[in-house]
Structure 1
């Protein structure tokens, strides 16, 4: 059933896909379910300076964008890479992909990271870290649509970390989404939007160990299903002190700065503060 729904979304023009996705987001907002509850809780924490009305508007906008993220998954996964690339209307900073042999892509849960992965791999072989789904059939489907051509996937476990190290050694691109909950191992408490958050240390450790360039990478959705703008921005996450905690803090600050440019395109229904607050 899931595969059928995703394929259904794949045959739509993007404007219609995003229109329907936006309706899904509005329904999630109106029904006051889990996604709205978590988004509301996160936004209240991170944007305490906003009025309640402003926070509520951001919750609604973020759920609309989340709905687009759901519908566009089928559009991306069940069309080929070149078809995906045709919807990238502008690329900023592409030259940075080739300027250094060791390059790590820092890809937050912002905009459409699925299309970013595919289009990046058209320019250079890329290994993306992902969190495996608990359902084996769903995970197999996820891998089958993600891991194609020059795009490889590395699970968020010890074997996956070794795979990332090998890819970096072979001067391939590696990509990590460091704003997901990593569990107790490989994490520290760091500040994110003024709140304590359990934060992954892997990206900062790999960047320092390999003297790697870090590129903030994101595909921002354009209005009315017009496509995407793909961005590569060099960022410095390595502190002068060399202390891991300070490296991670700089990484979180960089992610936060990006989110503030278009906060509704961040995945606020994700339990970013898991392990610190009760959802």
Structure 2
């Protein structure tokens, strides 16, 4: 059964990967509007997250941001098959401009490793592909439930030589080793981590469980952190790759200080193009115990 599901999913991705960018984005915008009109669970989560994070928006502004977010997230989902199936050179041709490229040269000139933080903002698959086309790079990932699909995902993401490592002890040791050798590693830093060993830190003023992995990698490797994303341009024109410095303290030994700096770094770039952030993700499901659960009315966080 798993093989059948994987084969079907891979076939769909390969077919979608034959689309031009404008068509894929148009389909994405349509699916986003369907999600809005049908009052889907994604609309509900987006509505909750934006009310928590941007209470300053008027009712009309809030609704517009929810609709826009749903459209952009659906566009990202429709763009992923392109990033996986198109030739790398064609994908790179979508990047019309790079802002902050000088930070890469500064980070690499002394031989230090480079830790790239790519939040769920804009097209993160294109961001990863860009850096793997330039550097010897490893990226942390969570394996899907279907084994055959994992093999496909590793193959398409690693076609420029990028090494995908699981988020287990062996994988983390591999990341540290590469960073110490002066190589590049990439992480999606805005996921909701499970288990102990993490810290609560403010994100848009709301305390939420945040990964301490970033600060641990930086402390153990001495790598330079940068935060980056690919901003979607209007009318199918492509993307602008943006690279920024992280906030001070992100490598601090104190976990609260470090995670506060991490979340501040993410929040800063999200505020640049908030409509392109994946607000459909339940980022606040792990809050300090006893606080109201934002996605389960009448229940508290544990």
For the aligned pair, the TM-score class normalised by the smaller chain equals over 0.9
Question: What is residue 11 of structure 1 aligned with on the other side?
Answer: 18
Separation of aligned partners in 1, 2:229 and 2:202:
22
Give the CA deviation at 1:36: 1.0
Give the CA deviation at 1:9: 2.2
Residue 280 of structure 2 corresponds to residue 269 of structure 1:
yes
Question: What is residue 85 of structure 2 aligned with on the other side?
Answer: 78
Give the CA deviation at 1:232: 1.6
Residue 49 of structure 2 corresponds to residue 42 of structure 1:
yes
Aligned to 1:205, the other structure's residue is in SS state helix
- RMSD of aligned C-alpha atoms? 1.7
Structure 2 portions without partners, runs of 5+ = 1-7, 288-292, 296-302
Superposition pairs of residues 90-105 of structure 1, within 5 angstroms? 90-99=97-106, 100=108, 101-105=112-116
2:165 to 133, 142, 154: 154
Give the CA deviation at 1:28: 1.0
1:58 to 57, 60, 65: 65
2:220 to 192, 196, 209: 209
- Partners of 1:43 and 1:59 within 8 A in 2: yes
1:69-118 CA-partner distances (Å, limit 9, x unpaired): 11101111001211110110011222332433221101111011101111
1:116-153 CA-partner distances (Å, limit 9, x unpaired): 11111111111111122223333333222212232111
Residue 181 of structure 2 corresponds to residue 174 of structure 1:
no
- Partners of 2:17 and 2:85 within 8 A in 1: yes
Separation of aligned partners in 1, 2:148 and 2:252:
46
- Size of the aligned set, in residue pairs, is 279
Separation of aligned partners in 2, 1:261 and 1:278:
25
Structure 1 portions without partners, runs of 5+ = none
Residue 117 of structure 2 corresponds to residue 110 of structure 1:
no
1:129-182 CA-partner distances (Å, limit 9, x unpaired): 112222333333322221223211122221221121122122110111111011
Separation of aligned partners in 2, 1:192 and 1:110:
15
Residue 193 of structure 2 corresponds to residue 193 of structure 1:
no
Give the greater-gyration-radius structure (CA): 2
- Partners of 1:214 and 1:236 within 8 A in 2: no
Separation of aligned partners in 2, 1:69 and 1:198:
26
Give the CA deviation at 1:278: 4.3
Separation of aligned partners in 1, 2:77 and 2:250:
37
Question: What is residue 233 of structure 1 aligned with on the other side?
Answer: 244
Separation of aligned partners in 2, 1:130 and 1:180:
11
- Partners of 2:228 and 2:241 within 8 A in 1: yes
Q: Which runs of 4+ in 1 moved over 3 A?
A: 239-242
- Partners of 1:237 and 1:248 within 8 A in 2: no
Q: TM-score scaled by structure 2? A: 0.87
Residues 251 and 8 from structure 1, CA distance in 2 versus in 1: closer, same or farther, beyond 3 angstroms?
same
